[in-house]
């Protein structure tokens, strides 16, 4: 599955690199361009994989249709199909547990606590809520076990706390999966939301699962499968780099005891650069359908939504509307800020502006904005913990909306851009 995608996409190819800082140097120097490294400690590595273009290609759609496709797939999540394919088991090799230190798991930055799994999708199961799939940073400890950063508001933390009274929680970490699985695992729904069924809806066909050997779980087909038990033991995790490219603090987090290592022959490892474009996209893209639904309730003529890479795919957004009345732009600003509470800045543009082109958006701001009328500033709002400039003591920030739409009072004629005719007639 991953091999087919790697073979089909346009990518930069490198012959060899090192696990410690070598992989991250290549990924950072070529950010936003898929990179394939043939040999990292004897394994091939793919990185910068999930661009908007690659995700759309893997789903068989155009980039501009991605967000609407996600909305439709989320609405169809319950109809996703999961199939345990026993024939897949013959593709896997069992490795000794100490082999984890030979895997091409990078150390990305100078102050990192050690090698980190960053693209691993963590699978757990709850008897009431069903299967949960989510992405978390995971430190590989010198003893070969793992420390997982478990954010308090996430569903994994809820399932862990609910079940840890039994002593341990079965888990599996899959690395090298279809982009639909990464996208689904990055998506927030309610606790009953089945991310794997959502992945099936995204690809519009059944999702093949592999049965684990040492834990009671079925997981998506992947290049690497790490099985383990999340324990009640708390160990140091961090420091590690977050989405803004700045360091997060050291915390006490749960220890995972590794119980099995499985991989495909010639398995391709997926290295996801912390703070890189791929990290930002996988955090941001799943928020766009939620924003789309929220804004559309207020402005029905909404066309599209994008969280921008320059804004870490988290703090800044561009919203496209087919403006019908003079207040639509400002209503869209308020709806966007409500739909994504971590949002800090939002720019609303007309539907003739390409929201994926920063120059085109800046053109709209330059030619369609009067600052005293079209900019809204909201001081003292609750903001994102990922914003380094926020008042973290009081959890406050200032938010801004820019209405960069054409004024209907002036008339659109003054704003229409000249076009060269397609023929000479």
Q: Do the two domains 52-264 and 286-410 of this chain adopt the same fold?
A: no
Alpha-carbon gap, residue 359 to 355, rounded angstroms: 9
Alpha-helical runs (H) found in 272-389: 277-284, 287-298, 328-339, 358-368, 371-374
Alpha-carbon gap, residue 405 to 304, rounded angstroms: 14
Segments making up each domain of the chain, as ranges: 52-264, 286-410
Domain 286-410 has CATH 3.40.1670.10: yes
239-260 pLDDT tens trace: 999 888 888 889 999 999 999 9
Beta bridge partners of 175: 224
SS3 105: coil
| Residue 425 confidence (pLDDT) | 62
Check: CB of residue 265 under 8 Å from CB of residue 156: no
| Residue 414 confidence (pLDDT) | 85
Count CB atoms within 10 A of the CB of residue 79. Answer: 10
Alpha-carbon gap, residue 356 to 320, rounded angstroms: 11
User: Which sequence positions are flagged as catalytic?
Assistant: 242
| Residue 67 confidence (pLDDT) | 86
Q: Which residues of the chain have pLDDT under 50?
A: none
Beta-strand pair 316-321/345-350? parallel
| Residue 29 confidence (pLDDT) | 97
The CATH class that applies to domain 52-264 reads mainly beta
């Amino acid at each position: 599955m991953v091999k087919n995608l790697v073979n089909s996409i346009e990518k930069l190819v490198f012959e060899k690199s090192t696990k410690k800082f070598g992989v991250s140097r290549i990924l950072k120097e070529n950010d936003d361009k898929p990179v394939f490294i043939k040999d990292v400690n004897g394994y091939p590595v793919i990185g910068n994989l999930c661009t908007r273009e690659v995700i759309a290609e893997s789903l068989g759609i155009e980039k501009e249709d991605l967000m609407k496709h996600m909305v439709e797939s989320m609405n169809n999540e319950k109809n996703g199909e999961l199939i345990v394919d026993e024939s897949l088991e013959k593709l896997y090799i069992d490795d000794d547990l100490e082999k984890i230190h030979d895997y091409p798991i990078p150390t990305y930055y100078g102050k990192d606590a050690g090698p980190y799994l960053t693209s691993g999708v963590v699978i757990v199961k709850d008897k009431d809520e069903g299967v949960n799939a989510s992405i978390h940073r995971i430190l590989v400890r010198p003893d070969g076990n793992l420390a997982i950063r478990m954010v308090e508001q996430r569903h994994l933390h809820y399932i862990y706390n609910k079940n840890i009274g039994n002593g341990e929680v079965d888990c599996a970490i899959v690395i090298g999966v279809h982009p639909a699985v990464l996208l689904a695992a990055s998506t927030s729904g309610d606790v009953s939301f089945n991310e794997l069924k959502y992945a099936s809806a995204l690809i519009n066909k059944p999702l093949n699962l592999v049965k684990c050997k040492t834990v009671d779980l079925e997981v998506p087909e992947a290049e690497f499968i790490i099985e383990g038990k999340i324990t009640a033991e708390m160990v140091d995790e961090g420091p590690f780099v977050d989405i803004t490219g700045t360091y997060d603090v050291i915390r006490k987090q749960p220890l995972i005891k590794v119980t099995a290592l499985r991989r495909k022959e010639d398995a391709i490892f997926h290295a996801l650069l912390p703070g890189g474009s791929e990290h930002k996209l996988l955090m941001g893209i799943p928020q766009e359908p939620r924003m789309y639904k929220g804004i559309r309730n207020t402005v029905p003529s909404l066309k599209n939504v994008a969280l921008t890479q320059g804004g870490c795919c988290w703090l800044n957004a561009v919203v496209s509307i087919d403006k019908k009345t003079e207040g639509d732009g400002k209503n869209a600003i308020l709806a966007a800020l409500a739909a994504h509470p971590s949002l800090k800045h939002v720019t609303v543009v007309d539907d003739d502006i390409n929201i994926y082109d920063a120059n085109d958006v800046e053109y709209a701001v330059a030619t369609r904005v009067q600052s005293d009328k079209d900019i809204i500033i909201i001081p003292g709002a609750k903001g994102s913990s990922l914003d380094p400039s926020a008042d973290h003591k009081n959890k406050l920030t200032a938010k801004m909306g820019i209405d960069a739409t054409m004024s209907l009072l002036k008339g659109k004629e003054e704003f229409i851009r000249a076009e060269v005719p397609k023929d000479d007639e």
